[in-house]
């Protein structure tokens, strides 16, 4: 199968890691579909990068079951199939702070955003997949280490990691692979916003001193890992998590926190 005949879904593809992944697959001449909540934001991106004009963009809020259904109805009607699905979409961490202080409604919403949302997407993706297809879930190093101040996010990411491994076994007889990419600290718009002021430069330096690589990852570095795992070059890799964190998770995990 040539690259041009492959259909790829990247959820949450308008910013940060998601956008970098979209661009990587477009560069490989694949038919890319993506979704995000802000259509105007996406259209501004396309104005500055004409290569993205051929991307099948859908305005979708993946926290809505109805809108998830509409997205996959669109994919089925327009493309008939999915060869690759990259589940990247993420929401702000609502239940942040010490576990005992967390609001139960925020906990429920956080679980829905970070666990149920990718589960629902995978359920729909598999309806459009056949032998040779594969799923790559963008998780986090929080999926296998303790992350203080983000207990619910950590629980959700552990859940996605566990489900991915289980599905890898369940689907192996159908020749469908399921893997994960676990980024460490990556310079996404959320971090860019935090470090936008001159006064925040000291905070950035303090965090980078804790990282074995001495810097944040670039979104393009995470995208490269996702692209490779989804490619035929990784055809014998299944149920695996590719950690892209510059060595952070093998250092002192007590520094892994959202404060």
pLDDT in tens, 107-143: 999 999 999 999 999 999 999 999 999 999 999 999 9
pLDDT at 256 over 90: no
Residue owning tokens 């056949």? 130
Per-residue pLDDT, averaged over 179-197, amounts to: 86
Measured between its terminal Cα atoms, the distance across the chain in Å is 46
Using a 10 angstrom Cβ sphere, with 0-12 exposed, 13-18 middle and 19 or more buried, the burial of residue 107 is: middle
Per-residue pLDDT band at 255 (split at 50, 70, 90): very low
Phi, psi dihedrals of residue 69, rounded to the nearest 5°? -60, -45
pLDDT at 202 over 80: no
Per-residue pLDDT, averaged over 46-72, amounts to: 97
- Amino acid 205: pLDDT: 86
* Buried b / exposed e along 240-251 (16+ C-beta atoms within 10 A): bbbbbbbebbee
> Taking CA 167 as the corner, what is the angle to CA 163 and CA 170, rounded to the nearest 5 degrees?
140
Identify the weakest region by mean pLDDT among 1-10, 141-150, 212-221.
Answer: 1-10
Range of the domain at 20: 3-255
pLDDT at 91 over 70: yes
Count of the separate structural domains present in the chain: 1
- Amino acid 199: pLDDT: 64
Per-residue pLDDT band at 252 (split at 50, 70, 90): low
Per-residue pLDDT band at 258 (split at 50, 70, 90): very low
Question: Can you tell me whether residue 184 is helix, strand or coil?
Answer: coil
Helix (H) or strand (E) holding 191: helix 189-194
- Amino acid 132: pLDDT: 97
Phi, psi dihedrals of residue 55, rounded to the nearest 5°? -70, 135
- Amino acid 188: pLDDT: 86
Q: For residue 225, what are the CA distances in angstroms to 53, 164, 248?
A: 24, 17, 17
Phi, psi dihedrals of residue 225, rounded to the nearest 5°? -65, -45
Between 189 and 26, the more confident residue is 26
Per-residue pLDDT, averaged over 45-67, amounts to: 96
Helix (H) or strand (E) holding 68: helix 65-79
Q: What is the CATH number of the domain that holds 9?
A: 3.40.50.720
Identify the weakest region by mean pLDDT among 46-60, 63-77, 183-197.
Answer: 183-197
Per-residue pLDDT, averaged over 187-195, amounts to: 81
Per the prediction, the chain carries an average pLDDT of 92
The question of whether 258 is a catalytic residue gets the answer no
Can you list the positions of beta strands (E) in 110-186?
Answer: 134-138, 177-183
Q: How far apart are CA 92 and CA 94, in angstroms?
A: 6
Per-residue pLDDT band at 3 (split at 50, 70, 90): confident
Q: For residue 88, what are the CA distances in angstroms to 97, 104, 106?
A: 24, 25, 21
Per-residue pLDDT, averaged over 62-87, amounts to: 97
- Amino acid 259: pLDDT: 43
Strand order in the sheet with 241-244: 56-59, 31-36, 7-11, 84-87, 134-138, 177-183, 241-244
Helix (H) or strand (E) holding 33: strand 31-36
Among the listed residues 41, 74, 79, 153, the single catalytic one is: 153
């Amino acid at each position: 199968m040539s690259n041009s005949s492959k259909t790829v879904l990247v959820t949450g593809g308008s910013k940060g890691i998601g956008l970098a992944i979209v661009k990587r697959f477009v560069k490989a001449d694949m038919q890319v579909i993506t979704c995000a909540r802000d259509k105007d934001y996406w259209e501004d991106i396309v104005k500055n990068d004409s290569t993205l004009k051929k991307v099948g963009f859908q305005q979708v809020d993946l926290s809505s079951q109805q809108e998830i259904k509409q997205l996959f109805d669109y994919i089925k009607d327009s493309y008939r199939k999915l060869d690759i699905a990259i589940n990247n979409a993420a929401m702000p961490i609502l239940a942040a702070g010490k576990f005992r202080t967390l609001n139960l409604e925020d906990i429920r919403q956080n679980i829905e955003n970070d666990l149920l949302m990718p589960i629902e997407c995978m359920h729909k993706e598999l309806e459009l997949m056949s032998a040779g297809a594969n799923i790559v879930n963008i998780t986090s190093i929080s999926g296998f280490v303790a992350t203080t101040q983000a207990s619910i996010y950590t629980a959700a990411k552990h859940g996605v990691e566990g489900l991915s491994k289980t599905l890898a076994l369940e689907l192996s007889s159908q020749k469908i692979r399921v893997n994960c990419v676990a980024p460490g600290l990556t310079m996404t718009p959320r971090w860019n916003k935090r470090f936008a002021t001159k006064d925040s430069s000291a905070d950035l330096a303090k965090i980078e001193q804790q990282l074995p690589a001495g810097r944040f990852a670039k979104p393009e570095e995470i995208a490269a890992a996702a692209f490779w795992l989804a490619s035929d070059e990784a055809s014998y890799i299944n149920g695996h998590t590719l950690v892209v964190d510059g060595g952070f998770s093998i250092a002192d995990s007590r520094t892994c926190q959202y404060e």
